[in-house]
Amino acid sequence: MVFKDIFQFYKIGKELGLTKKEINSTLLFKNRYPLILALMLIVILSVFAIFFWNAALILYAKSTEPVYPRGTLYSSINIKDFKDKK
């Protein structure tokens, strides 16, 4: 459906005597501010990169935390517990 409309626009443009460049300029969006769009793209990508980096650091910090608190033994079972076993 969309392609049919585009072909119709080309036909109408040729019937009016327009060149292909003129037809394309009316159909396609003209980029009037390429520098501003490039800067906006850089800013958006930078924000996503910072967000991703922070998420990666938080996940890394959570994965390297010790399981047992500082100063405690790794297990609550001692050798004494097995001596009294009958």
13-45 pLDDT, tens digit each: 888 888 877 877 776 656 667 788 889 999 999
pLDDT of residue 54: 95
Residues 22 and 37 in one domain: no
The residue segments making up the domain with residue 26 are: 1-30
pLDDT of residue 64: 77
User: What SS3 class is residue 38?
Assistant: helix
Residues 1 and 20 in one domain: yes
Residues 23 and 45 in one domain: no
H helices, E strands: number in the chain? 4, 0
Whether residue 27 contacts residue 6, with contact meaning beta carbons closer than 8 Å, is answered with yes
How high does pLDDT run on average in the chain? 80
User: Rounded to whole angstroms, how far apart are CA atoms 32 and 25?
Assistant: 12
Question: Is residue 17 in a domain?
Answer: yes
pTM for the predicted model, two decimal places: 0.43
Which whole-number Å values give the CA distances from 16 to 7, 28, 33, 43, 51, in the listed order?
Answer: 14, 18, 30, 43, 52
pLDDT of residue 2: 66
Residues 47 and 26 in one domain: no
